[in-house]
A = this chain, B = another copy of it.
Amino acid sequence: MERYEIAVIGSGPAGVSAALNAKIRGKSLLLFGSKQLSDKVLRSEKISNYPGLPDISGEELVGRLQKQLVEMEISVTEEAVTSIYPMGNFFTLLAGQKEYEAETVILTGGAGTAARIPGEEKLLGRGVSYCATCDGNLYRGKTIAVVCDTPTMESEAAFLAELAGKVYYLPLMKNSTLSGANVENLHSAVREIQGEERVSGVVLADGTQLAVDGIFFIRNSVPPAVLLRNLKMQENHVAVDRQMHTNVEGFFAAGDCTGRPYQIAKAVGEGNIAAHAAVEYLDSRKNSAGGNYAD
Nearest-Cβ distance from residue A108 to partner chain B, whole angstroms: 12
29 A–B contacts from the bound complex (CB under 8 Å): A16-B51, A20-B48, A21-B49, A24-B48, A24-B49, A48-B72, A49-B272, A51-B65, A51-B271, A52-B53, A52-B56, A52-B65, A52-B68, A53-B64, A54-B64, A241-B242, A242-B242, A242-B258, A242-B259, A260-B276, A261-B273, A261-B276, A263-B276, A265-B268, A265-B269, A267-B269, A268-B269, A269-B269, A269-B272
Contact of A268 among B20, B24, B51, B71 (CB under 8 A): B51
Q: Contact: B24 with A52, CB < 8 Å?
A: no
Q: Contact: B51 with A13, CB < 8 Å?
A: yes
Query: How many A residues are at the interface, by size bracket?
Result: 35 or more
List B contacts of A49 (CB < 8 A): 17, 20-21, 24, 272
Given A49-B20, A50-B52: A265 and B261 interface contact (C-beta under 8 Å): no
A 238-271 to B, binary, CB cutoff 8 A, 1 in contact else 0? 0011100000000000000011110101111111
List B contacts of A67 (CB < 8 A): 54
List B contacts of A282 (CB < 8 A): none
Does A190 have its Cβ within 8 Å of any Cβ on chain B? no
Nearest-Cβ distance from residue A262 to partner chain B, whole angstroms: 10
Does A61 have its Cβ within 8 Å of any Cβ on chain B? yes
Nearest-Cβ distance from residue A248 to partner chain B, whole angstroms: 18
List B contacts of A266 (CB < 8 A): 269, 272-273
Q: How far is the CA of A48 from the CA of B269 in the complex (A)?
A: 14
Contact of A54 among B17, B68, B269 (CB under 8 A): B68
Q: Report which residue of A51, A55, A56, A272 has the largest number of chain B beta carbons within 10 angstroms of its beta carbon.
A: A51
Q: How far is the CA of A137 from the CA of B156 in the complex (A)?
A: 79
Q: How far is the CA of A65 from the CA of B49 in the complex (A)?
A: 11
List B contacts of A65 (CB < 8 A): 51-52
List B contacts of A54 (CB < 8 A): 64, 67-68, 71-72
- Interface residues in A95-154 (C-beta closer than 8 Å to B): none
